[in-house]
Chains A and B, each alone.
Chain A
Amino acid sequence: MKIAFTAQGPSWNDPIDPRFGRAQYLLIYDEEKDKLTVIDNTAINQVAHGAGPETARKLFQVNPNILITGNGPGGNAARVLENAQISVFIGAGSLTVEQAYQKYKNNELEKL
Chain B
Amino acid sequence: MKEIVIISGKGGTGKTSITASLAKVAHEEVVAADCDVDAADMHLLLQPDFANSEDFYSGVIAQINQAKCIKCGKCKDVCRFDAISIVDKQYVVSQLDCEGCGYCAQICPRDAITTPQQNVGNFYISSTRLNMPLVHARLGIGAENSGKLVAKVKNEAKALAEKRKIPYLLVDGPPGIGCPVISSLSGADFVVFVTEPTISGLHDLERVYELTAQFKLLAGCIINKADLNKEKTAQIKKFIRKHNIYELDQINYDEKFSEAVTNGYTAAEINKEYERNFKHLWEKIKEIVLEDK
Contacts and interface: CB of A to CB of B under 8 A. Distances in A.
Q: Do A and B come from one complex?
A: yes
Interface of A: 18-22, 45-52, 70-72, 74-75, 78, 90-91, 93, 110, 112
B229 interface: no
Contacts of A46: 117, 148
B236 interface: no
Interface stretch (B6-14, B179-187, B197-205): B179-187
B216 interface: yes
B215 A22 contact: no
Contact of B147 (A51, A75, A93, A110): A51
A18 B187 contact: yes
Nearest to B151: A22
Given A49-B146, A74-B215, A110-B216, A93 B187 contact: yes
Nearest to A49: B179
B217 interface: yes
Contacts of A51: 147-148, 151, 179, 183
Contacts of B215: 71-72, 74
Contacts of B211: 74
Interface of B: 58-59, 117, 146-149, 151-152, 179, 182-183, 185-188, 211, 214-217
Given A45-B148, A48-B58, A48-B148, A22 B186 contact: yes
A90 B214 contact: no
Nearest to B215: A71
B4 to A, nearest CB: 14
Given A75-B214, A91-B216, A47 B148 contact: yes
Contact of B214 (A18, A49, A78): A78
Contacts of A49: 146-148, 179
B187 A71 contact: yes
A79 to B, nearest CB: 12
Contacts of A93: 187
A48 B216 contact: no
